[in-house]
């Protein structure tokens, strides 16, 4: 079989020769009904009988891997897709640098590797759970289709991690695969593993911010895992990254379209001051300061996903050759980091300042720095739209010490510029920085469904181009009667 092609003959589409791997095939087939139950219980509420114009992978070749067609979501062909094996690939970093990449789990690193796979796996169903009610308030069929595309692909990412658990981790891998279907986002007793995945995604601005900021953490973490010396993990993550790119596109363009609509409406109404919040809201669009607050919230929650700035876990995973740096293969150093240092932003004597730390211990910080640079690119594009429409306002990412729950700044309160605040000052000023109840209520009031082809809710501009180059009036979702 050509490894780039996906075999759709069995229950589980794959390009890993599942047909010849009876043990893993049976294990995955046994897991399948539980997955479908989970999807039916926790996947998008309603719309399961609707026909959605979805893309499905037919190959893992970067050119032409996707086919678009109408599909009912429960019939989506979730599968196991790995990027093709690279002949003679070597472990690119750490203690084993230069040795042949592992095709089996190295015994001494088994527990560490399993933990990385489980954490990655846990985020995927979590995001589907967080987004499950959004279909009902979709601002257009185009947006609804994009939401469902993101959801089915996150489901596929869960399959990708479960394949690794079932194939390489025996009994405990099977138990972990079960547990991934049991935990629930936001559940008081059985929550998802990482903080941001237990937050609510109550409205479409949150959804776009989440796919912009939090899916971008997904990109950074997947890029770091794609460098892994454990080749099946590397290959899995490489293919997941192609899907992740679309999720971030949905986020970036979603926020852009909201900003565009706001600025256009302000211009039409002759309002030039972005802080005339009530006047702007009367136009039925989301004022820019509130968009800024949502960005503050999602950015800060996502920074927590990088873990502690100084981390022995991260050092061990790198040293072992399991998790690299962002695009490790493009970096020019010894790829072992036994002696170098890296500047880490820390709280020293009540002041936030840089301090050099051993480079190996500072890997979470380094990945987070790379993330912030990546985030700023799209923010720059948002600001260009605002500037072009002549409104004096700039979206800015808050300081990394703002609103943190993990790491160096979890114990302090800071404003968006990184100035320390007392608890009392923070409480007083909190709603300057983060959405207040009334901001949330206002946004919620706008979340009225718009399900007619070629129509968009009044707070969001239409996209520049359709998905799969479809025309504006294309019916991306054929909604079945409930
Ligand atoms: N919440 O040594 P530390 C995605 C725990 S998103 C709760 O600093 P480490 C996606 C930590 O587990 C990408 N707990 O940790 C996006 C540890 O606990 P234990 C997901 C946290 O390991 C959108 C302890 O604190 N993938 O794909 O260096 C939609 C000490 O911390 C948190 C990955 O994250 C937290 N935020 O760094 C769908 C990649 N942070 O073990 C999908 C895999 C830390 O001592 N994961 N803790 O009990 C990792 O690489 C690392 O585990 C982390 C944490 C970066 C998450």
Residue 72: strand pairing partners: 51
Residue 55: strand pairing partners: 68
For residue 123, give the ligand 1 atom closest to its CA.
Answer: 42
Closest Cα to atom 44, ligand 1: which residue?
Answer: 307
Among 382, 406, 385, smallest CA distance to 395 is for: 382
Å from CA of 195 to ligand 1 middle: 9
For residue 310, give the ligand 1 atom closest to its CA.
Answer: 8
Closest Cα to atom 10, ligand 1: which residue?
Answer: 218
340 near 359, Cβ under 8 Å?
yes
- The predicted pLDDT at position 1 comes to 44
List, chain by chain if needed, residues with CB within 6 Å of any ligand 1 atom: 116, 119-120, 123-124, 127, 154, 194-195, 214-215, 217-218, 221, 304-308, 311, 313-314, 323, 364, 406
C-alpha 73/C-alpha 44 separation (Å) is 9
- The predicted pLDDT at position 63 comes to 75
- The predicted pLDDT at position 410 comes to 97
For residue 211, give the ligand 1 atom closest to its CA.
Answer: 23
Å from CA of 305 to ligand 1 middle: 6
Q: What would the pLDDT profile of 9-59 be if each residue is shown by its tens digit?
A: 889 999 999 999 999 999 999 999 999 999 999 999 999 999 999 999 888
- 3-state SS string for the chain: CCCCECECCCCCCECCCHHHCHHHHHHHHHHHHHHHHHHHHHCCCCCCCCEEEEEEECECCCCCCEEEEEEEHHHCCCCECCCCCCCCCECCCCCCCCCECECCCCHHHHHHHHHHHHHHHHHHHHHHHHCCCHHHHCCCHHHHHHHHHHHHHHHHHHHHHHHHHHHHCHHHHHHHHHHHHHCCCCCCCCCCCCHHHHCCCCCHHHHHHHHHHHHHHHHHHHHHHHCCCEHHHHHHHHHHHHHHHHHHHHHHHHHHHHHHHHHHHHHHHCCCCCCCHHHHHHCCCCCHHHHHHHHHHHHHHHHHHHCCCCCHHHHHHHHCCCCCCCCHHHCCCCCCCCCCEEEEEEEECCEEEEEEEECCCCHHHHHHHHHHHHHHHHHHHHHHHHHHCCCCCCCCCCCCCCCCCCCCCCCCEECCCCCEECHHHHHHHHHHHCCCHHHHHHHHHHCCCCCCCCCCCCCCCCCCCCHHHCCCCCCCEECCCC
Q: Give me Rg for the CA atoms of the chain.
A: 23
C-alpha 415/C-alpha 420 separation (Å) is 7
Q: Which of 160, 313, 317 to mutate to test the pocket of ligand 1 (most atoms within 8 A of CB)?
A: 313
CA atoms lying within 13 Å on the CB side of residue 32? 18
Å from CA of 120 to ligand 1 middle: 8
Residue 67: strand pairing partners: 56
* 270: number of Cβ within 10 Å: 7
Closest Cα to atom 37, ligand 1: which residue?
Answer: 307
Å from CA of 422 to ligand 1 middle: 28
Å from CA of 194 to ligand 1 middle: 6
Å from CA of 139 to ligand 1 middle: 33
Which stretches in the chain have pLDDT values below 50?
Answer: 1
Closest Cα to atom 20, ligand 1: which residue?
Answer: 120
Q: What would the pLDDT profile of 239-285 be if each residue is shown by its tens digit?
A: 999 999 999 999 999 999 999 999 999 999 999 999 999 999 999 99
Q: Which of 109, 115, 194, 362 to mutate to test the pocket of ligand 1 (most atoms within 8 A of CB)?
A: 194
- The predicted pLDDT at position 25 comes to 96
C-alpha 353/C-alpha 49 separation (Å) is 55
Å from CA of 307 to ligand 1 middle: 5
445 near 240, Cβ under 8 Å?
no
Among 81, 228, 243, smallest CA distance to 154 is for: 243
C-alpha 26/C-alpha 166 separation (Å) is 10
285 near 332, Cβ under 8 Å?
no
List, in order, residues 6 or more apart from 364 with CB less than 8 Å away: 306, 307, 308, 309, 310, 311, 314, 407
Closest Cα to atom 7, ligand 1: which residue?
Answer: 194
CA atoms lying within 13 Å on the CB side of residue 5? 5
pTM for this predicted structure: 0.97
Closest Cα to atom 11, ligand 1: which residue?
Answer: 307
Residue 414: strand pairing partners: 420
For residue 314, give the ligand 1 atom closest to its CA.
Answer: 28
Å from CA of 407 to ligand 1 middle: 11
C-alpha 169/C-alpha 112 separation (Å) is 12
- The predicted pLDDT at position 57 comes to 87
């Amino acid at each position: 079989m050509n490894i780039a092609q996906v075999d759709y003959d069995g229950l589980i589409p794959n390009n890993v020769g599942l047909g010849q791997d009876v043990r893993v095939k049976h294990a995955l087939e046994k897991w399948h009904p539980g997955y479908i139950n989970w999807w039916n219980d926790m996947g998008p509420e309603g719309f399961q009988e609707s026909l959605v114009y979805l893309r499905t992978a037919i190959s893992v070749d970067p050119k032409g891997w996707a086919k678009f067609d109408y599909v009912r979501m429960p019939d989506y062909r979730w599968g196991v897709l790995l990027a093709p094996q690279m002949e003679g690939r070597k472990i690119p970093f750490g203690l084993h640098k230069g040795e042949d990449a592992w095709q089996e789990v190295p015994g001494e690193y088994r527990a560490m590797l399993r933990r990385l796979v489980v954490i990655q796996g846990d985020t995927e169903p979590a995001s589907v759970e967080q987004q499950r009610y959004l279909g009902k308030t979709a601002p257009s069929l185009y947006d609804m289709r994009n939401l469902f595309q993101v959801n089915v692909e996150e489901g596929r990412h869960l399959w990708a991690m479960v394949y690794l658990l079932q194939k390489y981790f025996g009994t405990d891998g099977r138990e972990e695969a079960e547990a991934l279907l049991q935990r629930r986002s936001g559940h008081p007793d059985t929550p998802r593993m990482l903080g941001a995945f237990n937050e609510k995604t109550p409205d479409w601005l949150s959804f776009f911010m989440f796919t912009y900021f939090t899916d971008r953490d997904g990109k950074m973490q997947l890029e770091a895992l794609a460098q892994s010396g454990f080749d099946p993990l590397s290959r899995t993550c490489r293919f997941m990254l192609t899907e992740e790119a679309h999720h971030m596109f949905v986020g970036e363009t979603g926020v852009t379209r909201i900003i565009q609509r706001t600025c256009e409406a302000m211009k039409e109404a002759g309002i030039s001051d972005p802080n005339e919040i009530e006047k702007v809201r009367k136009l039925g669009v989301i004022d820019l300061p509130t968009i800024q607050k949502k960005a503050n919230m999602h950015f800060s929650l996502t920074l927590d996903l990088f873990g502690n700035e100084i981390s022995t876990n991260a050092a061990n995973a790198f040293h072992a050759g399991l998790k690299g740096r962002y695009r490790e293969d493009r970096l020019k150093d010894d790829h072992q980091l036994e002696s170098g240092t890296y500047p880490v932003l820390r709280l020293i004597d009540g002041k936030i300042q840089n301090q050099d730390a051993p480079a190996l211990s500072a890997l979470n910080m380094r990945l987070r720095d790379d993330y912030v640079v990546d985030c700023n690119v799209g923010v720059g594009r948002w600001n260009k739209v605002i500037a072009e429409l002549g409104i004096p306002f700039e979206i800015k990412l808050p300081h990394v010490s703002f609103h943190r729950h993990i790491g160096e700044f979890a114990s302090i309160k800071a404003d968006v510029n990184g100035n320390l605040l007392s608890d009392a000052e923070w409480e007083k000023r909190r709603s300057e920085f983060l959405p207040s109840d009334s901001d949330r209520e206002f946004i919620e009031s706008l979340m009225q469904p718009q399900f007619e082809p070629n129509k968009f809710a009044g707070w969001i501009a239409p996209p520049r181009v359709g998905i799969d180059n479809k025309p504006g009036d294309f019916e991306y979702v054929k909604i079945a009667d409930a």
